[in-house]
Amino acid sequence: MKCIRCNVINADDVLFCRNCGILFHHDTNVECENHSGRDAAGLCVVCGKPVCDDCMRVRESKTYCDDAAHALVPVTHAKLAAAISEFGAELVAKNLVANGIAALIFSQHRYSHLYRFTDDAPASIFVRKEMAEAAHRLVEEMDLTDFLHQNNNTL
C-alpha cells in the first residue's frame, strides 16, 4: 500500500505508515494515548505513541507526538537504524558510546502491536547528524549489523 502522504510503500496489513506515521485504516479503534475514547490519527515516528489530531504535531510531513522534543530529534539527529530488539538497540548504543558517539534509543515496544511487527519495531537508534557516518562505519567494523534491520527507512 502506497502512503497518500509520503508515497512510501508499506505492507498491506500495517495500521500506520512506517515512514510518516499517518493512520491508514480508520476502523481500527486505536486510541490516542492521551485521550481515551478518541481515535488516534497517527503515531509518532520517533517514539511510536499513537495520538489524536489535537495531540499530533506534524513537521515536514511526518507525525510526532505531543512531546515537543520528539519533533526536534530529526533536526539534530539521524536515524542510524531500527534494532531487532530493545536488547540489540542497547548493545549497539553501548558500543557507540564507548567509542565517543552519543546515541539515543526510542523504544516502540509498548506500541509494537500497532505496527504489527513491521521492521520499524521495536526500537530505533539515533545519533547526531555529524556522527552518522562514523556510527555506520563503527557498526560495520564491530559486526553489530546482526542486531539491526537491514532495510531501514531514514527519518
Closer Cβ to Zn ion, 67 or 119, answer by number: 67
Of residues 77-106, those binding Zn ion (CB under 5 A): none
Question: Which cell goes with 128?
Answer: 547526531
Q: Supply φ then ψ for residue 96, to 5 degrees.
A: -65, -50
> Does 70 engage in binding with Zn ion (CB under 5 A)?
yes
Q: In the bound complex, what is the minimum distance in angstroms from residue 146's beta carbon to Zn ion? A: 27
Residues in contact with Zn ion, counted by CB under 5 A, come to a total of: 18
CA distance 139 to 46: 21
46 near 124, Cβ under 8 Å? yes
- Alpha-carbon gap, residue 127 to 139, rounded angstroms: 12
Q: Using CB under 5 A as the criterion, what x/- string covers residues 6-45 for binding Zn ion?
A: x----------x-xx-----------x-xx--------x-
Whether 73 contacts 103, CB under 8 Å: no
CB of 99 to Zn ion, least distance (A): 27
Closest CB 140 distance from Zn ion, rounded Å: 29
- Report phi then psi at 115, rounded to 5: -80, -15
Contact residues for Zn ion, defined by CB under 5 A: 3, 5-6, 17, 19-20, 32, 34-35, 44, 46-47, 49, 52, 55, 65, 67, 70
